[in-house]
């Protein structure tokens, strides 16, 4: 119901001065319903004294009026107009003060309101920081109430997503006790609450991808916590539990992938390494899950697989020993982006030398590569050529000379005609792109006379 | 996508890394026109690679926020009265009672009966209003602490503190939990009636006398004798339990049903 100026004024007066407690409360309930409409929100903020009255009710000692006033503010916070968010500025110091209270419902409401206001207006954020929002959240994160924690995670995630966050917000968040508490809330086990964990996983992602001080998170055990969490999530997905844990996957994948690029992780065998091959098993289970449920998230999974295998002979060996090449090839038809990533991971394995290439063929790899060479996407074709080059480079007994089989007969029955056919296919396709034609001819030159 | 059967049991197995096969790289493998180099990739914030996952997150949040704003139907219970001394407010829901209790009876000054939203503010109040040692010390050193959590600044006077709150922390000049004391010495219960109206956040907009009015039926507020006030208890009555485990928790079931 859209309210006009007179009606808003009437409800506010009733709420302030009504004699009957119930009457005052229901006046605010009516106001709240009206404030669900953008038009009423606009009328309200332009009405002189309205916010002052609402803040007065918010800070009164009438608990139920306080709750309803907070709900009115919460409605206002939904507005997409930054002017409405800015009109709520007089209330922010009180919303923050109430975070150190004890009433979980009320604190939850204050947190969601703050989170919404944070999104809509930079002016609000500029006010909240000196008002002490980071220490207030750091104190509040010790609450035992799951609904409060979920709301806090939401508010913090909105704060961390602000465009000025890397310079203005994340340094003070990292300087507080928040990182340790966040990692604690992400510890896998029976106490893990999916709703809470999702919010804080996103918080971690915004911190990590801003690259302010990821070494700090690694020193707090971030890699191992996130790795174990991934195992937990994959386990739940495997048991086809409908716990909503799959919503955790996206931010956890991003955190792990980005953390792996930090210098602190580069030290081989050091304490910060992620070396458990169960992470690879978990990743494949998630790949299988996403192929069916959410193919748009496959690239993110494969990104982690790339970062795990790129500099790690151990993980590359795991792919071979656990027989994980073939499942990877099954992903090639999904999309070009997925194909490039799959081929890149295979290149990660092949570039490590003969011992690795030996295991890559014979097998389904060659027919798949012939397929990808037929792609219309130049990046797919380029990556396929890189892989083929590596495979042939490290398998010198394979050649295309006349009368010489492509592969030794004892290993595989590939006929010479098929290899000639594939060369013809290369050249035919290579005419699509001059560079590739040159690449192909160089490649042929290198491999033909052996 | 078909996974090898052993993979599922590997996930449940012990942690461990595969013994790596020997690495034998030949630099010639990277000679032009081939340029592949295995490397870890990093994506910064706002990279387009994140677009799809970000859209999913946004849709999820829309769902959550819609659920939060729908006022939950509080289960009604038979009416009961607040057990705190002198309070006869009546409630028909536990959540409303919980908030009332925490607002009015939890952080209560046992000297003057003012209620505060947090333990921290109550402690500051008791120190500054009821501690004579504080008065003596404050003449010699900065004793008035900043009210903002995490700020360690201290000031010579309440006025200086207020100025700091306004300038440094952008607090409103009329912040309701930082009212100046009227009298010079520790506050006496006699002054409680007028002052408490302000300390509890009542401004000129509120009807007078609300602060001390804990029972609607009383005609006018009467401060209780000092002795009784000091021993007034603000423990949680044994009959009431707030059930800390009660939570909305993860709203997955409702959301997934909507999406399927």
Q: Which residues of A117-145 are buried (b: 16+ CB within 10 A; e: fewer)?
A: bbbbbeebbebbbebbbbbbbbbbbebeb
**B249–A146: do the CB atoms touch at under 8 Å?**
yes
**B33–A243: do the CB atoms touch at under 8 Å?**
no
pLDDT number for residue B208: 31
pLDDT number for residue B220: 37
Query: pLDDT, tens digit, for every residue of B226-249?
Result: 333 333 334 444 344 343 333 333
* pTM assigned to the model: 0.83
Collapsing DSSP to helix, strand or coil, A245 comes out as: coil
Highest mean pLDDT among A335-339, B176-180, B221-225 belongs to A335-339
Query: pLDDT, tens digit, for every residue of B178-196?
Result: 887 765 444 444 333 333 3
Q: Looking at the partner chain, which of A206, A243, A318 has a beta carbon nearest the beta carbon of B252?
A: A243
Query: pLDDT, tens digit, for every residue of A10-59?
Result: 999 999 998 888 899 999 999 999 999 999 999 999 999 999 999 999 99
* R_g of chain A, CA atoms, integer Å: 30
**A194–B250: do the CB atoms touch at under 8 Å?**
yes
pLDDT number for residue B228: 37
Q: Looking at the partner chain, which of A136, A260, A386 has a beta carbon nearest the beta carbon of B149?
A: A136
B102 Cβ under 8 Å from any chain A Cβ: yes
Percent of chain A at pLDDT exceeding 70: 85
Q: What is the count of residue pairs from A and B with beta carbons less than 8 Å apart?
A: 312
pLDDT number for residue B233: 39
**A61–B68: do the CB atoms touch at under 8 Å?**
no
Q: What is the dihedral of CA B199, B203, B204, B208, to 10 degrees?
A: -50
**B99–A67: do the CB atoms touch at under 8 Å?**
yes
**A contact test, residue of B99, B147, B216 with most A CBs within 10 A:** B99
> Which phi and psi angles does A190 have, rounded to 5°?
-65, -25
pLDDT number for residue B219: 35
Sort out which chain A residues have CB atoms less than 8 A from B255's CB and list them: 244
Q: Picking from A84-88, A159-163, A215-219, A367-371, which range would have the lowest pLDDT averaged per residue?
A: A367-371
Selected residue with higher pLDDT from B22 and B203: B22
Query: pLDDT, tens digit, for every residue of B119-177?
Result: 999 999 999 999 999 989 998 999 999 999 889 999 999 999 999 999 999 999 999 98
**B170–A294: do the CB atoms touch at under 8 Å?**
no
pLDDT number for residue A442: 53
pLDDT higher than threshold 80 for residue A430: no
pLDDT higher than threshold 50 for residue B29: yes
Q: Is residue A156 very low, low, confident or very high in pLDDT (cuts 50, 70, 90)? A: very high
Query: pLDDT, tens digit, for every residue of B97-115?
Result: 888 998 888 899 999 989 9
pLDDT higher than threshold 70 for residue A439: no
pLDDT number for residue B243: 38
Nearest 5°: CA angle at A79, between A75 and A80? 160
Q: What are residue B80's DSSP bridge partners?
A: B91
Contacts of A61 (CB under 8 A, 6+ apart): B103, B104, B115, B200, B201, B202, B210, B211
**A75–B13: do the CB atoms touch at under 8 Å?**
no
pLDDT higher than threshold 60 for residue B22: yes
A433 CA: distance to closest CA in chain B (Å): 14
* Contact call for residues B69 and A78 (beta carbons, < 8 A): yes
A391/B224 Cα distance (integer angstroms) = 91
Q: Is residue A363 very low, low, confident or very high in pLDDT (cuts 50, 70, 90)? A: confident
A408 CA: distance to closest CA in chain B (Å): 23
Task: Kindly report the average pLDDT of chain A as a whole number.
Answer: 87
Query: Strands B90-91 and B144-145, how do they pair?
Result: unpaired
pLDDT number for residue A434: 43
**A60–B202: do the CB atoms touch at under 8 Å?**
yes
Interface subset of A 13-72, CB within 8 angstroms of B: 16-17, 21, 36, 52-53, 56, 59-64, 66-67, 71
A339/A374 Cα distance (integer angstroms) = 12
Q: How many C-beta neighbours within 10 Å does residue B78 have?
A: 5
**What are the strands, taking DSSP E only, across B53-206?**
80-81, 90-91, 144-145, 154-155
pLDDT number for residue B72: 64
Sort out which chain A residues have CB atoms less than 8 A from B42's CB and list them: 211, 257-258, 261
**B contact test, residue of A29, A56, A61 with most B CBs within 10 A:** A61
**A317–B20: do the CB atoms touch at under 8 Å?**
yes
pLDDT number for residue A238: 84
Q: What is the dihedral of CA B201, B204, B210, B212, to 10 degrees?
A: 60
Q: Looking at the partner chain, which of B68, B121, B211 has a beta carbon nearest the beta carbon of A61?
A: B211
Q: Looking at the partner chain, which of A138, A326, A351 has a beta carbon nearest the beta carbon of B29?
A: A351
**B18–A321: do the CB atoms touch at under 8 Å?**
yes
Sort out which chain B residues have CB atoms less than 8 A from A296's CB and list them: 52-53, 56
Query: pLDDT, tens digit, for every residue of A231-277?
Result: 999 998 888 765 667 789 999 999 999 999 997 776 555 555 788 99
pLDDT number for residue A446: 52
pLDDT higher than threshold 70 for residue A374: yes
């Amino acid at each position: 119901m859209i309210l006009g100026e007179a009606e808003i004024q009437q409800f506010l007066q009733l709420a302030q001065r009504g004699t009957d407690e119930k009457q005052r409360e229901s006046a605010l309930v009516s106001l709240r319903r009206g404030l669900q409409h953008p038009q009423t929100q606009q009328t309200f903020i332009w009405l002189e004294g309205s916010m002052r009255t609402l803040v007065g009710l918010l800070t009164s000692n009438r608990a139920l009026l306080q709750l309803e006033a907070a709900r009115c503010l919460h409605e206002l916070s939904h507005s997409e107009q930054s002017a409405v968010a800015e009109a709520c500025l007089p209330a922010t110091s009180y919303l923050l003060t109430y975070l150190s209270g004890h009433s979980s419902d009320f604190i939850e409401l204050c947190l969601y309101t703050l989170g919404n206001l944070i999104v809509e207006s930079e002016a609000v954020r500029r006010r909240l920081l000196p008002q002490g929002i980071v220490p207030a959240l750091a104190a509040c994160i010790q609450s035992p109430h799951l609904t409060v924690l979920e709301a806090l995670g939401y508010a913090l995630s909105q704060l961390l997503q602000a465009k000025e966050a890397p310079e203005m917000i994340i340094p003070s968040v990292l300087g507080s006790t928040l990182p340790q508490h966040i990692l604690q809330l992400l510890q896998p086990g029976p106490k893990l609450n999916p709703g809470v964990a999702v919010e804080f996983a996103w918080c971690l992602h915004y911190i990590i991808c801003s690259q302010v001080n990821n070494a700090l998170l690694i020193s707090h055990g971030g890699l191992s916590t996130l790795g174990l969490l991934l195992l937990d999530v994959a386990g739940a997905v495997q048991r086809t539990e409908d716990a909503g844990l799959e919503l955790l996957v996206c931010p956890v994948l991003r955190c792990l992938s980005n953390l792996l690029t930090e210098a602190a992780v580069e030290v081989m065998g050091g304490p910060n390494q992620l070396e458990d091959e169960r992470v690879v098993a978990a990743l494949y289970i998630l790949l299988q899950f996403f192929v069916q449920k959410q193919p748009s998230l496959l690239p993110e999974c494969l990104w982690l697989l790339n970062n795990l295998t790129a500099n790690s002979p151990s993980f590359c060996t795991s792919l071979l020993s656990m027989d994980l090449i073939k499942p990877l090839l099954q992903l090639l038809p999904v999309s070009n982006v997925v194909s490039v990533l799959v081929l890149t991971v295979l290149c990660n394995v092949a570039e490590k030398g003969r011992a690795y290439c030996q295991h890559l063929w014979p097998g389904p790899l060659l027919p798949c590569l012939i397929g990808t060479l037929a792609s219309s996407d130049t990046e797919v074709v380029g990556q396929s050529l890189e892989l083929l080059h590596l495979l042939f480079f490290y398998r010198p007994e394979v050649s295309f000379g006349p009368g010489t089989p492509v592969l030794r007969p004892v290993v595989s029955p590939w006929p010479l005609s098929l290899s000639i056919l594939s060369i013809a296919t290369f050249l035919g396709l290579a005419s699509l792109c001059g560079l590739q034609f040159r690449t192909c001819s160089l490649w042929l030159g290198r491999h033909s006379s052996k | 996508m078909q996974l090898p059967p052993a993979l599922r049991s590997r996930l449940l197995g012990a942690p461990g890394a595969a013994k790596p096969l020997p690495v034998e790289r030949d630099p010639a493998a990277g000679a032009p026109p081939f340029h592949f180099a295995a490397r870890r990739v990093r994506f910064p914030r706002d990279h387009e690679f994140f677009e799809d996952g970000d859209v999913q997150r946004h849709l999820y949040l829309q769902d959550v926020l819609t659920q939060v704003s729908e006022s939950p139907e509080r289960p009604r219970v038979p009416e009961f009265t607040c057990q705190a001394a002198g309070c006869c407010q009546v409630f028909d829901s536990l959540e409303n009672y919980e908030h009332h209790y925490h607002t009015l009876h939890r952080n209560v000054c046992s000297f003057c009966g003012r209620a505060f939203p947090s333990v921290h503010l109550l402690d500051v109040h008791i120190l500054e209003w009821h501690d004579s040692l504080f008065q003596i010390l404050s003449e010699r050193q900065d004793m008035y602490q900043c009210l903002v959590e995490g700020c360690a600044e201290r000031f010579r006077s309440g006025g200086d503190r207020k100025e700091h709150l306004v300038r440094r922390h952008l607090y409103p000049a009329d912040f309701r939990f930082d009212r100046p004391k009227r009298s010079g010495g520790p506050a006496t219960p006699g002054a409680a009636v007028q002052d408490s109206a302000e300390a509890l956040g009542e401004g000129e907009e509120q009807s007078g006398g609300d602060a001390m009015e804990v029972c609607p039926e009383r005609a006018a507020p009467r401060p209780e004798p000092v002795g009784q006030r000091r021993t007034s208890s603000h423990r949680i009555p044994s009959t009431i339990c707030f059930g800390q485990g009660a939570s909305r928790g993860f709203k997955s079931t409702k959301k997934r049903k909507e999406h399927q």
